[in-house]
């Protein structure tokens, strides 16, 4: 039986995951490539563009995040963006070839009034013919119902790390709160974008336990962002020992093997990565990136650099042939 017809697994044990991490690097890459090729065009990478629709002054205490009000990172506190600014940003993203527009808000959870405003924004993105994604914090079942009715395509809500390491990183909301929001999304059949952050000083066992949580959810998240911590001055995690690049690539590969039919996103942290490390991550099965000069508040590689890298690697954006760097549209 090939991987393509094998059913997806939701019963991964930590020992099995550790065995994957411990494989010789080339063997792990081979496993990841085999899984990737059974489900995807190996040379196509989906691109999404991010916009922070409400920046800073977040009540949560996530130790990695520049937007927490608890850390004095010098970010300007902003109000929810006016709808016309969202339209302009989404039009630019479409012009530059992104097929999905992701909007993030520095909230613990949206109020019903704010949710209505975000729903308007989702309408704007959909009218432009793009997929919509939002990340707004915790949601009630009623709120997921409203988002479904608004035609939302994806909701991003990360588990961030292992259940064991979680308490070192966030104290203002629990792991179970996150699992509950994921359940509310699944109940409404909204595509889930859920992953985590590595390079936060966690152990390999924590990275394995994060992937175990993700893969053993009742459904694999349709999209799995693997973020490398972006270290921001004055956040508690600033100065954390950096994760070895090969260990990062291994994490991507293990995610690919465990969740072979999910899109794995090489997410935050690319600005600090060499072209060679990014190429290894694509080889390990990453098939999505954030494209555009900023993530939410921190820098992302310049779009032209991404196009150059895609051209060097023969990667097509969104399944279309990447054009020459300097030529804006890639899809
Ligand atoms: N406030 C909402 C929430 O946390 O659910 C949504 C926005 S929040 C910024 C979205 C995700 O960005 C977080 O879950 C975290 O995984 C990621 N993130 C935030 N700061 C980061 C950093 N410095 N490096 C890497 N990823 C980061
Ligand atoms: C995700 O997993 N990574 C993105 C997105 N989902 C919203 C956010 C990365 C944020 C990096 C820090 C910043 O730019 O503020
Ligand atoms: Fe707030 Fe989200 Fe940042 Fe946590 S990750 S501080 S919830 S914006």
Identify the residue whose C-alpha is closest to ligand 1 atom 13.
Answer: 158
pLDDT tens, 169-178? 999 999 999 9
Active-site residue, 58 included: yes
**In contact, 215 and 10? CB cutoff 8 Å:** yes
Spatial neighbors of 294 by CB under 8 A, at least 6 apart, are: 50, 300
Cβ-based neighbour number of residue 321 at 10 Å: 12
Distance 65 CA to ligand 1 centre (A): 6
pLDDT tens, 195-215? 999 999 999 999 999 999 999
Report which ligand 1 atom has the smallest distance to the Cα of 158.
Answer: 14
**In contact, 208 and 253? CB cutoff 8 Å:** no
Q: What is the pLDDT of residue 7?
A: 73
pTM: 0.92
Residue 330 scores a pLDDT above 70: no
Q: What is the pLDDT of residue 220?
A: 97
Cα separation of 135 and 147, whole Å?
Answer: 12
Active-site residue, 65 included: yes
Distance 219 CA to ligand 1 centre (A): 22
- Of all ligands present, the nearest one to the C-alpha of 138 is 1
DSSP 98-110: -SEEEEEE--SS-
pLDDT tens, 136-173? 999 999 999 999 999 999 999 999 999 999 999 999 99
pLDDT tens, 60-115? 999 999 999 999 888 777 789 999 999 999 999 988 888 899 999 999 999 999 99
């Amino acid at each position: 039986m090939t991987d393509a017809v094998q059913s997806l697994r939701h019963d991964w044990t930590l020992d099995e995951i550790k065995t994957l991490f411990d494989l010789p690097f080339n063997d792990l890459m081979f496993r990841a490539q085999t899984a990737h090729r059974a489900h995807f065009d190996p040379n196509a990478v989906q691109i999404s563009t991010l916009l922070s629709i409400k920046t800073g002054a977040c009540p949560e205490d996530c130790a990695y995040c520049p937007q927490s009000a608890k850390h004095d990172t010098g970010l300007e506190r902003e109000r929810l963006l006016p709808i016309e600014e969202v339209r302009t940003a989404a039009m630019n993203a479409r012009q530059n070839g992104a097929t999905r527009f992701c909007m993030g808000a520095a909230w613990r959870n949206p109020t019903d009034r704010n949710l209505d405003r975000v729903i308007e924004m989702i309408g704007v993105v959909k009218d432009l013919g793009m997929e919509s994604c939002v990340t707004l914090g915790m949601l009630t079942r009623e709120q997921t119902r409203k988002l479904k009715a608004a035609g939302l395509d994806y909701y991003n809500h990360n588990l961030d790390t292992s259940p064991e390491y979680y308490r070192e990183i966030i104290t203002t909301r629990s792991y179970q709160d996150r699992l509950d929001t994921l359940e509310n999304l699944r109940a409404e059949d909204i595509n889930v974008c859920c992953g985590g952050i590595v390079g936060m000083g966690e152990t390999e066992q924590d990275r394995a336990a994060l992937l175990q949580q993700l893969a053993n959810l009742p459904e694999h998240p349709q999209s799995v962002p693997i973020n490398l911590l972006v270290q921001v001055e004055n956040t508690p995690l600033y100065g954390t020992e950096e994760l070895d690049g090969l260990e990062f690539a291994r994490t991507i590969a293990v995610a690919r093997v465990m969740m072979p039919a999910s899109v794995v996103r090489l997410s935050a942290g690319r600005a600090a990565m060499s072209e060679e490390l990014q190429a290894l991550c694509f080889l390990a099965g990453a098939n999505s990136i954030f494209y555009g000069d900023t993530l939410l508040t921190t820098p992302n590689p310049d779009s032209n650099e991404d196009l150059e890298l895609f051209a060097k690697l023969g990667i097509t954006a969104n399944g279309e042939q990447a054009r020459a760097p300097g030529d804006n549209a890639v899809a």
